[in-house]
Amino acid sequence: MSDAGRVAFVTGASRGIGRSIAVALAGAGHRVAFCYASDEAGAKETQAAIEELGRDALALKADVADTAAVDRAFAEIEAAWAPVEILVNNAGVTRDGLIARMSDEQWDVVLQTNLGGAFHTIRRATRGMMKARYGRIVNISSASGQLGAPGQANYAAAKAGLVGLTRSVARELASRGITCNVVAPGPIVTSMTDAMPDDWRVWAQGAVPLGRLGTADECAAVVAFLCSEAAGYVTGALVPVDGGLAMGH
């Protein structure tokens, strides 16, 4: 097949970085399915943005922490189109808290969604990718996975875990023509950062060598490259999109 027209699946794409990734993959010519946990209005906006490009879109409500929900989502994609050939794991949640007071629930929810969710989708996607002897997998981590973040031990642990997962999958599936990479964004302009206090924004801009927050489209451009034919010799890589924040880590 050509670089265009493959079946892509993006998790957590009702807004922010996930939406930009879904739109970028549609712009590259792919059919894009995506899932969302609860933001139905946002999912409709993402679907409309994809369809405005003249590409097929499929919006699915699914909790990636739930294995059965992941299986159903993949079955719907396969029934509508074909097996998934491009998988981007972007779904994530936060349950911030200082480690001394962090509950088991705060820890478990973040690990099950941010790390377990990626495991669930990769495991389900690989059966089709291995048969086709082709696949592109990109996991969205975070600069905090390398740097750590106070009040986010659960989030940083999950994001760091994605690096180990990515590199294990890359080694395991390389002989089948499947690549697996991880993208680690730094501070990115999203609805989440828009809600942060001004002093956080001042700190972030000062900590980033480029002196500004990044955009979701800048992340999406890197992900789209890693999902392309041109990136066929890139696997097991950690690609930062952080303005230099975590350089050297």
Could you list the pLDDT tens digit for every one of the 249 residues in the chain? 446 689 999 999 999 999 999 999 999 999 999 999 999 999 999 999 999 999 999 999 999 999 999 999 999 999 999 999 999 999 999 999 999 999 999 999 999 999 999 999 999 999 999 999 999 999 999 999 999 999 999 999 999 999 999 999 999 999 999 999 999 999 999 877 777 788 888 988 999 999 999 999 999 999 999 999 999 999 999 999 999 999 977
Please tell me which residue in 36, 134, 155, 233 is annotated as part of the active site.
Answer: 155
Model pTM score: 0.95
pLDDT of 196 reads 78
pLDDT of 1 reads 40
**233 flagged as catalytic:** no
135-170 in b/e form (b: 16+ CB < 10 A) is: bbbbbbbbbbbbbeeeebbbbbbbbbbbbebbbebb
- Distance, in Å, from the CA atom of 139 to the CA atom of 146, rounded to the nearest integer, reads 15
Q: How would you classify the pairing of strands 214-215 and 135-140?
A: unpaired
CB 93 within 8 A of CB 109: yes
The distance from CA 173 to its chain's CA centroid, rounded to whole angstroms, is 19
Give CA angle at 17 (107, 246), nearest 5°: 70
pLDDT of 195 reads 75
